[in-house]
Chains A and B, each alone.
Chain A
Amino acid sequence: MEMKGVIFTFDAMLALAIVIVLFSGIMIFNLAEPTTGATQSLRYTNATDSAINEYLTGGITKDDLPSDPNTNCKEFFEFSSDVVLEVRKCI
């Protein structure tokens, strides 16, 4: 059914409304999803905070190096007759 208006037809307005709703949805979805950098930074911050806590309190956690490139690790070294790995936390 097509209804004629002054400038837009009813079909045209409906089409425009659908397009606006779709783009708005995509924009909101993109805003809700953190960027790659933000996600990586958040993982790194969590790993660092945890590693600092362990390092300063004498922790001995030494996570294996991950195969997943998205995993962030933080290492701290200590001096004990040589420079040795003290703490490695990977998140």
Chain B
Amino acid sequence: MHLNKKGSFAIITAIAVAALLLFIINGSLNASQTNNSFLKMQAGREAVLDAENAVRIYDKASNSEILANANSNLSCTSTLLLGELQTALNSIDFCEIQLTNLTQGSFPTVSGLIVCNRNIQGFEITEERTVTFNKTLGGTPPTCTIDS
């Protein structure tokens, strides 16, 4: 079979170059997608950990509120003064708290939605956590143990 050498070479070279370009483009797209996936994973993990941290703070603050109001047992110690629960909860700045109920006093009730947003290089992930704390002082007569 006789081939036109110049024409054949041009066609084969063109196909090779096109294939090479496709490989390069594919490689770049894969690298970009992998990069984005890692950033999204990081944002997601940060949002979840922030929400967990906020829940823990709510938990401890509501405990402290009970102890601050434990008039029946003066030996209970609290890190909160009376009526400071709202102030304490408002100072969480890494998550937004949407309170649906907040009752301060001897039987505090805290319920609402914790919304944590994380934005990493344009990727925003939102973690929402519904929380409800209904706690009482345990024991008869009341001790400094908290039942929930």
Contacts and interface: CB of A to CB of B under 8 A. Distances in A.
Interface of B is mostly: helix
Contacts of A16: 16
Residue in A12, A35, A40, A80 whose Cβ sees the most chain B Cβ within 10 Å: A35
B9 A7 contact: yes
B64 A37 contact: no
A27 interface: yes
B8 to A, nearest CB: 6
A36 interface: yes
A44 B42 contact: yes
Interface residues of B, number: 36
Nearest to B2: A6
B41 interface: yes
A79 B94 contact: no
Contacts of B64: 79, 81
Nearest to B36: A37
Contact of A79 (B34, B36, B57): B57
Interface string B66-92: 000000000000011000100010011
Interface string B37-56: 11101100110010001001
A30 interface: yes
Nearest to B90: A83
B37 A79 contact: no
A36 B38 CA distance: 9
B80 A30 contact: no
Given A12-B9, A30-B27, A48-B45, A41 B38 contact: yes
Given A12-B9, A36-B35, A79-B64, A41 B79 contact: no
B80 to A, nearest CB: 6
A41 B39 contact: yes
B92 A35 contact: no
B130 to A, nearest CB: 20
A83 B31 contact: no
A65 to B, nearest CB: 15
A43 B109 CA distance: 39
